[in-house]
Amino acid sequence: MRSPRFWQALLSLDLLPHQARALLERLGPDCVEPEDLIRSHAITNDQKTKLENALAKLDSISDWPHILSVEHDDYPSNLRTANPPAALMVLGKIEPRDSLAVSIVGTRKASIYGAAVARRIAYELASAGITIISGGAYGIDAAAHEGALEAGGRTIAVLGSGLDKLYPASHKHVFEKISRNGAVISQFALGKTSQPWMFPIRNDTIAGLSRAVIVVEAPSMSGALITAASAAEYGRLVFATPANIDSLNYRGSFRLINDGATLLFTPDQVFEALGVNKRVGARPQIELSETHAAILALLSSEPEIPDNLSEKLQLPAGEMFAHLTELELRGLISKTPGGYVKA
């Protein structure tokens, strides 16, 4: 069995997934340590120099994460049918049930509406036992992970950096929660800080891990579109959520719909497409904010429309919608044809 030191050395070569897999085939089963790799005739002189530099840093690694390679039986089954990285470094645990996974991706500069939509969809899917996958970034990614965590479900963050160089660093507390309720994973060597070339590779892996991809708020130039394109190539389902046609954050999403993505207006579409029976998970007890308390005080058994609530509390319509969505997810209010009522 190849050692963690071997996989760290291999990943330090910064090869594309197909290149790393091809190199593994050339190396054969007897190459199990980085020293074996350096002596091999299967790598170039430049790669040997790179490995020698990496080897000098190996002894400083005292706390190895769990490593899953394509040679392991418990390597993610979905990823095997896509473009599998040679190895994944894992904080937390990837489980067989994570094969029922949906990724939710989108812009880092999410609107209040977009973040609320991502959070709501993630909550409902995670409540039904679907693992939520995203990239751990700001905006839509963060909202998706948070929605899954609020539901008490599983979620996986796929990083565009080494596991010891978390990006964004300000999400450290979020990554800690994710690792306790799923996994934080990387296909990059320890010590690797995030660089632009790493994110398209990371986005491709997100698609490979998923059975469906949901795009929420994707501008025309967006990593989420790379994820969607990879998903389509791998035969995964691709959904895009609707929004204001004047919003630049949705131009990429509209293009996806023109190209054949399914317009998503309810999570029930995902359940039906995946053949999953929806079941409602337990609602977590979350302390109410002052705004949420004020909204509940205005609601009764008589339906109230959002515009009236916005006017009474002097809140913008988009912000009010986000609050109503959160209260609905917590089971405190219900949406009826005439408006919102207290549950």
Find the CATH number of the domain harbouring 300: 1.10.10.10
pLDDT in tens, 74-88: 999 999 999 999 999
- Judge if 250 and 330 occupy the same domain: no
Q: How many domains does the chain have?
A: 3
pLDDT value, residue 58 = 84
Question: What DSSP line would sit under 170-237, residue for residue?
Answer: GGHHHHHHHHHSEEEEESS-TTPPP-TTHHHHHHHHHHHH-SEEEEES--SS-HHHHHHHHHHHTT-E
- Judge if 251 and 107 occupy the same domain: yes
- Judge if 166 and 218 occupy the same domain: yes
- Judge if 231 and 309 occupy the same domain: no
Series of mean pLDDT values for 10-residue runs along the chain (343 residues): 92 95 92 91 90 83 90 94 96 95 94 88 94 95 94 96 92 93 96 94 97 93 91 96 78 88 92 83 59 90 89 91 84 81 77
pLDDT value, residue 283 = 45
Residue located via tokens 């109410």: 288
- How far apart CA 127 and CA 124 sit, in angstroms, is 5
Q: Where are the beta strands (DSSP E) in the chain?
A: 66-69, 87-92, 101-106, 131-134, 155-158, 182-186, 212-216, 237-240, 262-263, 333-336, 339-342
Position 90 in a domain: no
The residue out of 274, 301, 331 marking a domain boundary is: 274
- How far apart CA 261 and CA 12 sit, in angstroms, is 36
Position 279 in a domain: no
- Judge if 237 and 268 occupy the same domain: yes
Position 173 in a domain: yes
Position 81 in a domain: no
- Judge if 330 and 210 occupy the same domain: no
Pairing of strands 182-186, 87-92: antiparallel
Q: Helix, strand, or coil here: 341?
A: strand
What separation, in Å, do the N-terminal and C-terminal C-alpha atoms of the chain show?
A: 56
Position 125 in a domain: yes
pLDDT value, residue 61 = 82
State the pTM of this model: 0.81
pLDDT value, residue 279 = 63
Measuring CA to CA, which residue among 120, 117, 193 is closest to residue 162?
193
- Judge if 245 and 177 occupy the same domain: yes
pLDDT in tens, 257-287: 889 999 998 899 999 999 988 765 444 445 6
Supply the range of the domain harboring residue 191.
96-274
- Judge if 137 and 258 occupy the same domain: yes
Position 204 in a domain: yes
- Other Cβ atoms less than 10 A from the Cβ of 271: the count is 17
- Judge if 242 and 319 occupy the same domain: no
Position 193 in a domain: yes
- Judge if 258 and 217 occupy the same domain: yes
Position 232 in a domain: yes
Phi first, then psi: give them for residue 331, nearest 5 degrees. Answer: 80, 15
pLDDT value, residue 284 = 45
